[in-house]
Amino acid sequence: MPARAPSALTIHELHPLLISGQLSPAELLEDLLARIAGHNGAYGAYIDVAADQLREQLRRQLASGRRGRLFGIPITVKDNLCVAGEQTTCASKILAGFRAPYDATVIERLRQEGAVIVPRANMDEFAFGSSTENSAYGATRNPWDRQRVPGGSSGGSAAAVAADLAIGALGSDTGGSIRQPASFCNVVGLKPTYGRVSRYGLIAFASSLDQIGPLTKDVRDAAHLLSVIAGHDPMDSTSAPVEVPDYVAQLEAPVNGLRVGLPRLPEEGIEPDVRRCVEAAVQVLQRLGAAVERIELPFIDHSIETYYIVATAEASSNLARYAGVHYGLREPAEDRSSLIEMYLRTRTAGFGAEAKRRILLGTYVLSHGYYDAYYLKAMQVRTLIKRSFEQAFSRCDIVVMPTSPTAAFRLGERLTDPLQMYLSDIYTISANLAGVPAISIPCGFSSSQLPVGLQLLAAPFREELLLRLAYAYEQATEWHRRRPALEQA
């Protein structure tokens, strides 16, 4: 047995121990539950954890005889992924009490490999945010500094992995919601190509942008989880019928000669420490044999405004279904015959401030007289951004840039300034608009000892290239091995 506690180990370290019987799944689960009980109160990574239900779930998994790639390993999932019989609320009051009637496809695939599903990692309400402060169940705090945000919207998943309150986790990424919290929390976060992973059972934010992906302690674990959840799904019409390679087997393939492109990027608000860490990381890539060259990504400067038109428009359409009729919160009208009043009271009470802001923005850009001026124009610019990536990947294999312009900011610092909050995603949004895969890996620390992330992007369905270069960089550095000192609940 390793000297470290089971909850501190990675998926690839735990698997042989569990298969061989050196460690039992029950021992692993109890160690993880004890750590969650000791620290979740201080960090709010989980909305809640039903320990007895997890023990019963493990008993059923063991009785099923499944001894797959995740045998006995707890995997944490964000509160917008449907887990049959469990509350799935998107951290919103409007879905209070809703229990998913079915498993999302990614949950089914985790179960088939023997995983134990740990639901309800905290998040920004409906994934609307970059800080996990917009949750109806309270903010999540960064394990590296409790006075700072963990990023968002998958902040609960990222914080849980960073604090060893999770072995590995799933999040969703609409404009950086996996990668930015991965950067803030010093973990690995991968957004796959749009269509690589089924979205069936993911409660939608923006259907043309959303993608499910892993948050893990290292790159090998990200490859393990992606291998499990990737692949075509007939239940999702946007799921791509593209063969899934063996990501783990390709991790150690040589990176010598890979062409790495450094684009000219908007530098508004980038911290000197972030620039320093990213420049040092590029030098490491060069020492590993990558050929680095400057490239142009025209139109990427317009990603923020394009995204916040497209994403809010889709959010407005998707959230129209929450009306207090079939499920979730219902606030009855004073006049029991007034359906409109019931809608109004339910939505007023059920949606938080950021959700209301995005619904209003989206409704506005889709409204008569503004559709052509805003939404249609944004979709045209989105096409130009996608084409600029196609041109870039004709010259290089990987594009490198910061994950975020800053390290983690303080709680409350940007809540009253939505524009500054939205600028947190300035380097991540373009990957979602173009539908390309991207990964954030630890690449250093600021002068305040806060993590900094390096972002790698590749052409569609070339996740194996991302993972290969990320793994080579990880093996040449020690940043991913650092762990925060936690406070007790």
Question: 303-340: string of b/e by CB count within 10 Å (b at 16+)?
Answer: bbebbbbbbbbbbbbbbeebbbeebbbbbebeeeeeee
* Contacts (Cβ under 8 Å, ≥6 apart) of 129: 152, 153, 354, 421
Question: Is the residue at 335 inside a domain?
Answer: no
> Is 93 labeled as catalytic in the residue annotation?
no
- The DSSP 8-state label assigned to residue 485 in this structure reads P
Q: What is the CA radius of gyration of the chain?
A: 21
**What's the pLDDT at 2?**
56
Closest CA to 406 of 296, 270, 292: 270
Domain that holds residue 13: 6-260+394-481
Question: Is the residue at 365 inside a domain?
Answer: no
Question: Is the residue at 340 inside a domain?
Answer: no
Question: 374-411: string of b/e by CB count within 10 Å (b at 16+)?
Answer: bbeebeebbeebbebbeebbeebbbbbbbbbbbbbbeb
| CATH at residue 401 | 3.90.1300.10
Please report where in the chains the tokens 């750590």 appear, as a residue.
35
**What's the pLDDT at 266?**
75
Q: Are 54 and 33 in contact (CB under 8 A)?
A: yes
First to last CA, the chain: 28
- The DSSP 8-state label assigned to residue 218 in this structure reads S
CA dihedral 121, 210, 353, 44 (to 10 degrees): 10
- The DSSP 8-state label assigned to residue 46 in this structure reads B
Question: Is the residue at 186 inside a domain?
Answer: yes
Question: Is the residue at 325 inside a domain?
Answer: no
Question: Is the residue at 304 inside a domain?
Answer: no
Which of the residues 135, 177, 404, 424 is marked catalytic?
177
Which of the residues 130, 131, 135, 153 is marked catalytic?
153
> Is 239 labeled as catalytic in the residue annotation?
no
Q: How many domains does the chain have?
A: 1
* pLDDT tens over the chain, length 489 residues: 457 999 999 999 999 999 999 999 999 999 999 999 999 999 999 999 999 999 999 999 999 999 999 999 999 999 999 999 999 999 999 999 999 999 999 999 999 999 999 999 999 999 999 999 999 999 999 999 999 999 999 999 999 999 999 999 999 999 999 999 999 999 999 999 999 999 999 999 999 999 999 999 999 999 999 999 999 999 999 999 999 999 999 999 999 999 999 998 877 789 999 999 999 999 999 999 999 999 999 899 999 999 999 999 999 999 999 989 989 999 988 877 788 999 999 999 999 999 999 999 999 999 988 999 999 999 999 999 999 999 999 999 999 999 999 999 999 999 988 888 988 899 999 999 999 999 999 999 999 999 999 999 999 999 999 999 999 999 999 999 999 999 776
Query: What distance lies between CA 135 and its chain's CA centroid?
Result: 15
Lookup: tokens for 468: 């290969």
> Is 153 labeled as catalytic in the residue annotation?
yes
What's at 105, amino acid-wise? T
Lookup: tokens for 183: 């950067």
Query: What distance lies between CA 384 and its chain's CA centroid?
Result: 25
Which of the residues 7, 78, 183, 198 is marked catalytic?
78
Residue 356's Cβ-count burial label (10 Å; 0-12, 13-18, 19+) is: middle
Q: Are 290 and 466 in contact (CB under 8 A)?
A: no
- Tell me the H-state helices in 230-352: 272-287, 303-318, 339-350
